[in-house]
Amino acid sequence: MITREPIYAALFAKIQMVSGVTTISRRLLHWSDVPAENQPAIFQVQRHEDPIQQRGIPAKWKLYADLYVYVNTGADPYASPAILLNPIIDAIETALGPDASTGFQTLGGLVSHCWISGRIETSEGALGQQEVAIIPIEMEAA
């Protein structure tokens, strides 16, 4: 049996280490509800959980979260939002990097692994001055 909230809180603490971000929250807002002056913004959202079960062994859990990242170029219609977005994605990757002692990101020993898992989706400039990225996170806990 796992205790979920400390795991999600530890992930959020790692994300709060990302510098240059104006808004960080666990409550998702639509990008149109986040004014440009409150961006860059990161929102952590619990996605789903899957048990890994074997007979006679306590279940392990895979917990999934998404990080929504919003950036806005403001008044410059020719500025590329990706220029603002890419350093934030790099900083998130660094924040979730492996512990030097274990070689894994364990969120302080709460999980066996925590990593970016899968495709990072972006709006690829389709939203004009607004850019949105969704970064999938996977954690495994026993």
Q: Give average pLDDT by consecutive 10-residue segment, the chain, 142 residues.
A: 94 96 98 96 96 89 97 85 94 94 91 95 87 97 86
**How high is the pLDDT of residue 77?**
77
Angle at the Cα of 125 from the Cα atoms of 123 and 130, rounded to 5 degrees: 85
The alpha carbon torsion through 142, 45, 92, 12 (nearest 10 deg) reads -70
Q: What is the pLDDT of residue 6?
A: 97
Q: What is the per-residue pLDDT for 87?
A: 96
The one-letter amino acid code at 67 reads: L
Q: Tell me the three state secondary structure of residue 13.
A: helix
pLDDT at 58: 86
pLDDT for position 116? 97
Q: Are 95 and 114 in contact (CB under 8 A)?
A: no
Model pTM score? 0.93
Per-domain residue ranges of the chain: 4-141
Task: Quote the pLDDT of residue 59.
Answer: 87
Could you please state the CATH topology (level 3) that the domain comprising 4-141 is classified under. Answer: Alpha-Beta Plaits (3.30.70)
Which residue type, as a one-letter code, is found at position 22? T
Nearest to 125 by CA among 94, 79, 66, 88: 79
Report the pLDDT value the prediction gives residue 124, as an integer from 0 to 100: 80
Q: For residue 109, count other CB atoms closer than 10 A to its CB.
A: 9
H-helix segments, 32-135: 81-95
Question: What local confidence, expressed as pLDDT, does residue 80 receive?
Answer: 86
